[in-house]
Amino acid sequence: MMKKSLCLVLSLVMVLLAAAGCGKADGSAQSPEKGGKKIAYTTMTLESPYFVEVSEGIKDKCQELGWECTVQDPKMDVASQLAAIETYIDQKYDGIIISAVDAAALPGIIKEATDAGIKVIGSSTDIENIQAFVSAGEYEMGYALGKAIGEWSEANLSGDLKGVTFGTINDQNVMIREQGMREGAEEAYSKGNITFINEAGTLGGVTAEEGMANMEGIMQSNPDINLIMGSNDDSILGAYEAAKSAGMDLNKMAFGGVNAVEQALNTIKEEKDAGEGAYRVTVDITPRLHGVTDVEIMQQLFDGKEFPEQVLIEAKAVTVDNIDEYFK
């Protein structure tokens, strides 16, 4: 991988074309226009609104270019993802975009694909042997979240605090994101120490159900928890529901995640209007535009153009201070 990376400041102009002509999750797809390409996107799970938005952006841009597009949902099963990539190699796809379920399991199959002349991009996850990587910076995403949580704490709390971060167990990329959360919060909070009750990479949480289960355990072992941050919104929204159901004192708590999914944005807006609530922050990394960018970089690969192998999507904290921008 190249050492240099370039931060592309992307506009929020979305491609609002219908998805007709792009592949469905079952792998069906219409033929590309003459001279078009055939690409596939294998995601982590379409149970996550974030990856749904990424896939829609990919399909939008493929339709615009007249490319065939297939989306595969492995449902967080690495064996399913490996089998799908093998199929794309056998069927001689031109390009594959991958959001890895387990990045450590894929370098071999990716080398097989690139040896066959297929262009391979990592979307949101860096994987050995890919030819380009599109993502918000892991540390930058986490830092934006942690800083905003720390700033809220500085204005509303005092004394020593307890925090927790959800991620993906032993995933090195997500552990960097968790480190950003912790350092952002600690730098922004000066009224005491923040003690994190877990080490980065030790508490998995991708779905709302996992987040809820995590929070139920945390409330028993650490009922005085204050700051709950996660690598995505889905798990933290689940944790938030568990805290509300348990009658926790939300005035002393701050919840926040990454991805700016619709439910997170709606929750922040509704709580701002109501003047109460504890879902303080989400981080916008423009998932649909991310998907569009994945395809644009794939096009540059096909055209033989030069670009940095890591293309960074801007990470922006969304709080009560700027939530109204998303509802104009």
The total number of structural domains in the chain stands at 2
Residues 70, 18 share a domain: yes
Residue 86 is inside which H or E element, if any? helix 78-90
pLDDT confidence tier of residue 49, bands split at 50, 70 and 90: confident
* pLDDT score at 205: 82
How is the chain split among helix, strand and coil, in percent rounded to 5? 45, 20, 40
Kindly report the average pLDDT of the chain as a whole number: 89
pLDDT confidence tier of residue 35, bands split at 50, 70 and 90: low
Residues 263, 290 share a domain: no
Residues 293, 266 share a domain: no
Residues 146, 108 share a domain: no
* pLDDT score at 43: 97
Q: Is the pLDDT of residue 25 over 60?
A: no
What is the 8-class DSSP label of residue 207? S
Q: Above pLDDT 70, what percent of the chain?
A: 89
Residues 164, 132 share a domain: no
Residues 281, 145 share a domain: yes
pLDDT confidence tier of residue 8, bands split at 50, 70 and 90: very low
- What gap in Å lies between CA 248 and CA 246, rounded to an integer? 6
* pLDDT score at 18: 31
Residues 190, 102 share a domain: no
Tokens of 307: 């670009």
**CATH number, residue 121:** 3.40.50.2300
Q: Is the pLDDT of residue 295 over 60?
A: yes
* Residue bearing tokens 């690495």: 78
Boundaries of domain holding 170: 138-285+320-327
Mean pLDDT of all residues in 130-142: 93
Mean pLDDT of all residues in 181-208: 94
Residues 237, 216 share a domain: yes
Residues 170, 181 share a domain: yes
Residues 200, 293 share a domain: no
Q: Which residues are within 8 A (CB) of 24 and not within 5 positions of it... i.e. 6 or more apart?
A: 70, 71
Residues 142, 216 share a domain: yes
- What gap in Å lies between CA 275 and CA 324, rounded to an integer? 14
More reliable by pLDDT, 196 or 136: 196
pLDDT confidence tier of residue 4, bands split at 50, 70 and 90: very low
Q: Is the pLDDT of residue 29 over 90?
A: no
Please state the φ and ψ torsions of residue 24, each to the nearest 5 degrees: -100, 175
* pLDDT score at 166: 95
- What gap in Å lies between CA 95 and CA 301, rounded to an integer? 9
Residues comprising the chain, all counted: 328
* pLDDT score at 24: 37
Mean pLDDT of all residues in 178-207: 95
Count of other CB atoms within 10 angstroms of residue 276: 10
Residues 276, 163 share a domain: yes
- Each residue's pLDDT tens digit, 149-175: 999 999 999 999 999 999 988 888 889
* pLDDT score at 320: 97
DSSP reduced 3-state for 294: helix
